[in-house]
Amino acid sequence: MSEATHPGRDREASGTAEHVEDSPPTEGTVSVDAAALPPESEDSLAEIDQVLNRWSSRERARSDEHEHAAAEKEKFLQDFAAISQSVIRPSMEAVIERLRKDGGDGAIEERGSDPSHSPRVILWMSLRGEIPAEPHQDRNPFLQLDADVTRRRVDIWEGDMWEKQGSSAAASPWELADISPASVTARTVGILERAATHGSAT
């Protein structure tokens, strides 16, 4: 006998087939858009390397700058010490010798470099008689030279006190190249000229 056709069964079979085709992916599979994934070569922590590299560069630059400044400071101090011995002190000694010949006097006071002070050279002068044991800016003409390590220059103070008259003040600073026997002598002569005008009316 021939097999009978059953429309309902055919519809069920057809519906089952359609259901299978439209069903979601089986459990355990994930649908991912490949374009949304980061490249495999991208390192999410690479910025840390960049931050530390920039920091290291700045640290090296600061260290180099500090070493350069320290070297420049040391060179300036050495140059000032050398010019003090070869120019400043001999020029001041020549002034003292002439003052003593003319009835006056002079003395040199020096201070070396230490952590809290810069080098200093002072020429104390007297128009008449000996320099006291402790000369003072309020009593004696003087020329004071201070090594300014920060600005790499020599700061100058001049005083022309004599017979309780006169004053002291800063003068234009020198570069090391400005220091010569002629410049030191000219400064001291100018101070003595001003000091010699004090007390002349009494």
> In terms of Cα–Cα distance, which of 98, 154, 77, 163 is closest to 122?
154
> CA-CA distance, 118 to 3, in Å (whole number)?
122
Q: Which amino acid is at 72?
A: E
Closest CA to 166 of 132, 130, 193: 193
Asked if pLDDT for residue 143 goes beyond 60, the answer is: yes
Phi-psi region of 56 (alpha: psi -120 to 50; beta: other; left: phi over 0): alpha
Q: Check residue 187 and give its pLDDT.
A: 96
Closest CA to 123 of 86, 73, 157: 157
Q: How many CB atoms lie within 10 A of CB 188?
A: 23
What pairs with residue 114 in β-bridges?
A: 117
Mind listing the pLDDT tens digit for each residue in 80-118?
999 999 999 999 999 999 999 999 999 999 998 777 789
pLDDT in tens, 152-185: 999 999 999 998 899 999 999 999 999 999 999 9
pLDDT, tens digit, for every residue of 22-78?
A: 555 555 555 555 555 555 567 788 888 889 898 988 988 888 788 878 889 999 999
Which helix (H) or strand (E) element contains residue 154? strand 153-159
Q: Is the pTM of this model over 0.75?
A: no
* Residue 95: strand pairing partners: none
Strands across the sheet containing 153-159: 105-111, 120-126, 142-148, 153-159, 168-174
Strand partners, 110: 121
Buried b (16+ CB within 10 A) or exposed e, 23-39: eeeeeeeeeeeeeeeee
